[in-house]
Chain A
Amino acid sequence: MTITNIRIGIYLCDCDGKVSKNVDLSKVKTAIQSQAEFEYIREADVVCGTAEQEKVAAEIDKYSLNRLLIVGCNDPFITRKFVQLAEEKGINRYSVEFLDLSAVNSVEAAVSAINSRLGKLHLREQIGYEELAVTPDVLVIGSGSEAAAVAKAISKNQPVVRIDHETKKVVGVDGFPGNFTVRLLENGKTSKHSFGAIVLALGAQPQYDAAKYGGVNLDERTLSLSQFINADKNYAGKKISFVLGKADADSLLSFAAVLKSSLDLKGKGASEVDVIYDDMKVCADGLEQEYELARKKGVNFLKYDGEFQINSASDGATFQYREPFLPIEATRVAADYLVLAEDFVPVAATQELAEILDIRTGPGGWFQKDNVHFLPIKSNRAYILFVGSCHGPIHGTDLYNEIEAVVAEVSAFAKGKAQVPSLQPRVEAKKCAVCLTCYRCCPHHAIEIVHGDEYDNMYNSAARMNPLACQRCGICAGECPGKAIQLPLYSDQEVLFEVKQPAKIVAYACENSGFLASEFAKTLDPQLQKALQIVEVPCSGKIDVIYLLKALENGADGVMLLVCHKENCKYVWGNNRAEQRKERAQALLNQVGLGDRIEFVHVAANQGNQFNAAVKEMAEKIRQSGTNPGKVVK
């Protein structure tokens, strides 16, 4: 949907003198007035002030403005305020653009930046909102206490079905968030059910590893911690010694379980309770208090260091070790029962469900890749969520926080409908060859192939992106061999418009890393920015080969791709796709002798200095290989 009657209002804000210090705003205004298409323009001192806001509101009405360009700063506080104002006046947030001029120091540069942004505003399609019917029901998978807790919490808002994935198993999932069709297998029969969201709360599995205890096998007197807890025997009058620290060194689950069991044993009349540990871990809510309480109740805490020896007999077991603080060769603790902490490993269903749901596992086989961009509860698929120890053992407050986050997330479907901005990519059916490339490359399972007379191609079919599943990375658009896919706000037209008259160096920057680093870098070395043009993309996976070539064809001397670190793409593999495309584009340049002009840089949001170093390196590279001879003079 394109608005034919685009009426843009431009506000040139001095930001309390910050802009006019470098650039004469009235000259900028005159220049814009003489060449650009817009409805209204004026200067302001502090356009975010209350009085100014009222004035802007009145002007929106007076001049029937439907798009705004705020030139000045892009402080998040100000942008939020403006977006709110715009939406109150019926202007969609996607029709408001902000341009930061604080680092610009010439009228020409300011005018060129404004024109570029104005051009984009003209090209931008109007973004609407879609209201989708969704199923409020949530499927919780898991049999343990974590699954029970999250199911109970969700059930306060909406219906929950909990399955254990043993007697009732998930064997397939189709569809999209809000309307997943889950095939369940029970007693040899499969049935289909509709769920809005899926929550995985499989927990973790304790596993005794004899190697960690010098090859000691479990027997009647030497038990694993889970054997001890599950047996739930009466130990009145007995002496129990727990050994911590050899296994499960990375989590607090064993420490919490041992403290709780020690207190229970004391309460139920055990004669003596020892906790033998190397490092006591109590860094979670409540554990420190339990530790203090256990000490008060007379639990013995004994520290060991290094080597130890366990001997088990029919009437008890001993633990012989070196006490680190006393000048004694060896200390021997004899107990009726010796209880050894175990490691935690993913339950068997973890891998199976990862395959069925096409969600990822990371180190140790736990759910989710190690990736700084992923929130703890999120998988690579929208509304398929993790809670608890199935993505690595967690405990206490961490668990409750996750439950709360999951409840909030799935509550979006509680009323049976969901409103979403229509920001998913558009497919021009005429150009869609239904080749499945986008479908295969989407890391979020957000794409389906739909059929019908309305799809104007020889297949009467086209790819379609689901607005709830799509995470708007634009990888699909970057892959499409037919150029049938356009991502709103970042259409090829909009992106290529920015590089029509490019700077010496064009840097396509991922908004999750490179772009933020560039903002930081500006403050560190403003001089360096002169020859540099940043083109923001939602993910480096959106950077098409043609974007790289067009920047050079239009006259840039070098192109950079500023992407997230390896294994740290918010959209799973966007940065890998970008690297493959960079390799291809560079090969295309080499084939025609244009030299080494493309730089691929992994950078994190906080690496402003690395960013500048990379820009300097690029500038040096260009200096050596000379001006781009491939520039096409129009």
Chain B
Amino acid sequence: MIVAEGKPVEKILEMVAPFKKVLIAGCRGCVTVCLTGGEKEVGILASQIRMARSKDGNPIEILEQTEERQCDAEYNAKFLENVEQVDAIVSLACGIGIQYLGEKYPATPIFPGVNTLMLGANIDVGKWEERCMACGDCVLDKTGGICPITRCSKSLLNGPCGGSQYGKCEVSTPAKEDIPCGWQLIYDRLSALGQLDKMKEIIPSKNWLRAKGPRTYVREDLTLDRS
């Protein structure tokens, strides 16, 4: 799932400062699941902005709408009626949704209400951890199902660096939670699987071009000829 966090409201207030009527657009996909951009958060942000603007003697009207996914044009079409009424949109979808909704309504300014953080797993209520960086060339088969690109702070491919101590990464800081050393995790998993010999295999340098955007992906077997 894509994980995002709410943007500081002062930033959002700056973005909408010139406007009198704004749509806050939520998404029922990943950002609902990660508790950042569903109908609930749309309502909370709307209320907060309305109060902030009232306080400043500059009232704002806010419409609220949440649809299935902002990364699909058909769902974005549902925003039409409300978009037509407003001066600007604040989207609480991930970076993909924000842009894609904006593409649908090019005449209306759109602003991000969230910072898109990572592709992560929901460890427990309110906790997320990154598991994939979408590098485009998966090596999980060689590393016991643990991603060295994501889990190793340096994305090393062939074992840990000298900064791995007691299973922790040297990048860990007191302010942050300790980061486990990705290669320690890989070692432990391979060891549990009885596949430690895989550590001896040299993983060649990665083709990072596959990780660089803008990327596109087309499946000829599925594309629809609409002519």
Contacts and interface: CB of A to CB of B under 8 A. Distances in A.
Interface of A: 431, 433, 435-437, 440-441, 457-458, 479-484, 544-546, 549-550, 552-553, 588-589, 591-594, 629-633
B38 A483 contact: yes
Given A435-B33, A546-B40, A594 B28 contact: no
B43 to A, nearest CB: 5
B44 interface: yes
B139 interface: no
27 contacts: A433-B38, A437-B125, A457-B68, A458-B68, A481-B33, A481-B40, A481-B41, A482-B40, A483-B38, A483-B39, A483-B40, A483-B43, A546-B43, A546-B47, A549-B44, A549-B47, A549-B48, A549-B51, A550-B47, A552-B51, A553-B50, A589-B48, A592-B13, A592-B52, A632-B50, A632-B54, A632-B59
Contact of A553 (B13, B51, B69): B51
A604 B62 CA distance: 40
Contacts of A440: 124-125
B29 interface: yes
A579 B28 CA distance: 27
User: By DSSP majority rule, is chain B's interface helix, strand, loop, or mixed?
Assistant: helix
A228 to B, nearest CB: 49
User: By DSSP majority rule, is chain A's interface helix, strand, loop, or mixed?
Assistant: loop
Contacts of A632: 50-51, 54, 59
Interface string B33-72: 1011011110110011111101100010000001011000
Contacts of B33: 433, 435, 481
A482 B28 contact: yes
Nearest to B36: A481
A482 B59 contact: no
B177 interface: no
A629 B39 contact: no
A626 to B, nearest CB: 11
A630 B55 contact: yes
B55 A629 contact: yes
Interface in B126-183: none
B32 A481 contact: yes
B9 A592 contact: yes
B10 interface: yes
A552 B49 CA distance: 12
A592 B68 contact: no
Interface string B2-13: 000000111001
Contacts, number: 97
B127 to A, nearest CB: 11
B122 interface: yes
B40 to A, nearest CB: 5
Contacts of B47: 546, 549-550, 553
Interface string B70-96: 000000000000000000000000000
B55 A594 contact: yes
Instruction: Name the residue among A431, A480, A589, A632 with the largest chain B CB count within 10 angstroms.
Output: A632
Instruction: Name the residue among B44, B66, B122 with the largest chain A CB count within 10 angstroms.
Output: B44
A457 B125 CA distance: 22
Instruction: Name the residue among B13, B35, B122, B124 with the largest chain A CB count within 10 angstroms.
Output: B35
B59 A546 contact: no
A544 B50 CA distance: 18
B35 A481 contact: yes
A546 B50 CA distance: 13
A483 B44 CA distance: 12
B54 A482 contact: no
Instruction: Name the residue among B38, B49, B68, B124 with the largest chain A CB count within 10 angstroms.
Output: B38
A461 to B, nearest CB: 13
Contacts of B9: 588, 591-592
A470 B39 CA distance: 24
Q: Which 9 A-B pairs have the closest CB atoms?
A: A630-B51, A592-B52, A481-B38, A435-B33, A549-B47, A629-B55, A483-B39, A433-B32, A482-B38
A482 B68 contact: no
Given A592-B9, A632-B51, A431 B39 contact: yes
Contacts of B125: 437, 440-441, 479
Instruction: Name the residue among B28, B29, B36, B68 with the largest chain A CB count within 10 angstroms.
Output: B28
Contact of B54 (A550, A588, A630): A630
A632 B32 CA distance: 27
Contacts of B122: 435-436
A450 B3 CA distance: 25
Interface in B1-26: 8-10, 13
Nearest to A629: B55
B136 to A, nearest CB: 26
B44 A546 contact: yes
A437 B128 CA distance: 13
Contacts of A629: 54-55
Contacts of A483: 38-40, 43
Contact of B32 (A435, A588, A630): A435
